[in-house]
Amino acid sequence: MAKFNTRFKSLKTEKAVNYQDLADLLGISVRAVQHYATGSRYPDFEGLIKLADFFNVSLDYLVGRSDERERR
């Protein structure tokens, strides 16, 4: 299964969203979002939920615990 940063980068590319848009969504700096892509930092619980909702995937998929994208 994929790691969070791999899933995050893939979903970001798939949705064609930039770091600034994600930073605005999460209320954090662009640099903090870039750290998510490198795997050097991870979002907090609320950030994970916002990202899963934004990308329309389950939390388990987003964090690499499942290969099924759909929420249940």
pLDDT of residue 70: 84
CATH number of the domain within which 45 lies: 1.10.260.40
Does the residue 25 lie in any domain?
A: yes
Does the residue 68 lie in any domain?
A: no
Does the residue 17 lie in any domain?
A: yes
Q: What is the pLDDT of residues 14-65, one digit of tens each?
A: 999 999 999 999 999 999 999 999 999 999 999 999 999 999 999 999 999 9
> Does 71 have pLDDT greater than 80?
no
Structure tokens given for 66: 């499942």
Domain assignment of residue 21, given as a range: 4-62
pTM of the model: 0.92
Instruction: Characterize 18-45 residue by residue with b for buried, 16 or more Cβ atoms within 10 angstroms of its Cβ, and e for exposed.
Output: ebeebbeebebeeebbebbbeeeeebee
Pair 68, 58: CB distance under 8 Å: yes
Task: State how far the Cα of 18 lies from the Cα of 71, in Å rounded to an integer.
Answer: 24
Q: What is the pLDDT of residues 1-11, one digit of tens each?
A: 679 999 999 99
